[in-house]
Amino acid sequence: MNLVRPKEPVIGRVVRSESCMAGRSASFVRHVEIDVSGTPLEGNFRVGQAFGVVPPGRDASGKLHAVRLYSIASPSWGEDGAGKVLSTTVKRVIDERKTDDPQVHDLFLGVCSNWLCDVPLEAEVAITGPSGKRFLLPSDTAAHDYVFVATGTGIAPFRGMIKELLEAPGGPCNSQIHLVLGVPYGTDLMYDDLFTSLDQAHDNFHYHTAISRPERGPRRYVDRAVVESSQIGELLQGDRTLLYMCGLKGMEEGIYRHMFDLGVVDQYLEWPDSIERDPANVGERKVRAGARCLLEVY
Ligand code: A2P
């Protein structure tokens, strides 16, 4: 961890940058690959970790920009198989900045993500890291089954983890693997071709989507998709399943309440004695994810 500190970033080069959306959409997400060969990150990152990007220029107070963290979207052996190229999933920031003054409202594009999406091939990026030590795959991947739940760009680490499980050089992992991805519109699905083809190629991999603003039919969030899948329910009842969640914090509660129906709350959550084990209390800050529940939520 932290082989390269924010004060002394090293130089990587963007070697691939392409849209990873399923269709034309109001939002823009790019899959960006960065060659880190010759830096301390080469061969020294794991899927589930993040790396840092230091955008060029200075902030409003004249200081160098602070480092921004991006989830690694490649398997631990990188995009190239040798740990020289890592990738991430970058969403363009497009927002309207409003102030108390009704006359002042302007376009907000942020500092780093749009810049990173714009970087041309072969251009340099100042990088740091890697960071993160908990949101990882287990060392014995065959000893577990997996439920991965993502909203939006929370998909990034799961792209890498699922590739690591199913495209391992020694042959695919035979464990049960479910992925649930939630996005506003069908056209927003990221890496949809990859997950669809993996689902077709591997009987043990199951790809579920939850579209929250469909043209027709009911709105669906990822927690609902988890509740409605009897296969995921059975898996969560197994004693070797790991549940990973990445994305919006709001997805946790529905899934935690579902754990009561399945009778598995104690397998995934840690309850302090002071809090009654009751579905109404799952939102309590003191209720913590246990060892089999891995979270990267914001
Ligand atoms: P919506 O925004 O329609 O309410 P993105 O990051 O690309 O916006 O995608 C996030 C996805 O997660 C959207 O489909 C969003 O739905 C959905 N979402 C928003 N709040 C929650 C929540 N509390 N639980 C699960 N999903 C949520």
> What is the number of the ligand 1 atom nearest to the C-alpha of 254?
24
Residues 90 and 88: their CA atoms lie apart, in Å, by: 6
Q: Map out the domains of the chain as residue ranges.
A: 10-131, 141-297
Residue whose CB lies within 8 A of the most ligand 1 atoms, among 20, 209, 221, 251, for a mutation test: 221
CATH 3.40.50.300 fits 10-131, yes or no: no
127-156 pLDDT, tens digit per residue, is 999 999 999 999 999 999 999 999 999 999
10-131 and 141-297 share one fold: no
Residues 154 and 96: their CA atoms lie apart, in Å, by: 23
pLDDT value at position 202? 98
Two tokens, residue 17: 């940058």
pLDDT value at position 283? 87
Residues 255 and 180: their CA atoms lie apart, in Å, by: 12
- Site residues for ligand 1, CB cut-off 6 Å: 151-152, 182-184, 188, 212-213, 221-223, 248, 250-251
pTM for the predicted model, two decimal places: 0.97
60-101 pLDDT, tens digit per residue, is 899 999 999 999 999 999 999 999 999 999 999 999 998 899
In the block, residue with structure tokens 């754990």: 259
* Residue with CA nearest ligand 1 atom 8: 152
pLDDT value at position 23? 85
pLDDT value at position 107? 95
| Ligand 1 center from residue 190 Cα (angstroms) | 14
Residues 277 and 172: their CA atoms lie apart, in Å, by: 39
Beta partners for 97? 106
Q: Fold for domain 141-297?
A: Rossmann fold (3.40.50)
pLDDT value at position 259? 96
In the chain, which stretches have pLDDT less than 50? none
Residue whose CB lies within 8 A of the most ligand 1 atoms, among 20, 151, 190, for a mutation test: 151
Residue type for position 10: V
pLDDT value at position 284? 87
Please give the mean pLDDT across all residues of the chain: 96
